Amino acid sequence: MVDMGEFWVFGYGSLMWRPGFEHSEQIRAKINGYRRSLCIVSRVHRGTPEKTGLVLGLDRGGSCVGVAFRVDAGIWSDVIAYLRERELVTNAYIERLVPSRLADGRQVQVLTYVVDRRHPQYAGALHPEEAASRVIGRNGQSGSNEEYVHNTVEHLKALGIRDHWLEAVGSLIRAQQRPVRCVVLPLSAAGAAGSDWWRLRSTSHRRLPQSPVAILSETLRSKDPAGLRAGRGI
């Protein structure tokens, strides 16, 4: 049975580790009918109008594990005002009261913010590959969109919460960030009269740099830039 005499707020993103309001209790909680998703276009905080990013929202379908905060009745109106100022800047979210089951079995009504699918900032239900492609390289006033995703995943893990969809997005982003590590191995080419050739081996699946000659040229340029400018090249 849902207890209607208590005031609870449900957090599924940064609200879980940075609520910003006083609360008398916090506990893991689950809601049904909504899932955590990168479904809101960001043109300011994690992107720009020209190169938009993505931020989290609760979208219809599935379920979501997050953190519920109990708020004392005496400060409830102040907390509501704070949350509306924080969450409803562009009205991409809708304020909702939804049933939730707490980790200890209690059932309560929680206040949370779900995405408005009619809002222009709604990005739709994205596959991890599409979401990652719309996060990589995006930056806004609050920082890197990639860091936003990574930090969320790590905070969720620290709280013992696994979100496989978001983790898949994070893995795809990390795969794009992985640097190319190259090993240059000298080889004696048969019939080359003692000349040394170079073989480039990459430990990454990303495209290799230019030819070994270009790499050697860059090395010489860093050691003797004046000489190369004077025509003393390879």
Active site (catalytic) residues: 87
Distance CA 102, CA 160 (A): 15
Nearest to 213 by CA among 227, 203, 232, 198: 198
Nearest to 198 by CA among 208, 206, 207: 208
Distance CA 86, CA 71 (A): 17
Nearest to 33 by CA among 104, 78, 96: 96
Task: Spell out where the chain has E strands.
Answer: 2-3, 7-11, 25-42, 53-71, 93-102, 107-115, 139-140, 143-144, 182-188, 196-202
The residue assigned the tokens 């982003």 is 173
Q: What are the phi and psi torsion angles at 66 (to 5°)? A: -145, -150
Q: Report how far Cα 214 is from the mean position of its chain's Cα atoms.
A: 36
Q: Which residue type does 200 have? A: L
The pair of structure tokens assigned to 194 is 């003692």
Q: What are the phi and psi torsion angles at 126 (to 5°)? A: -105, 145
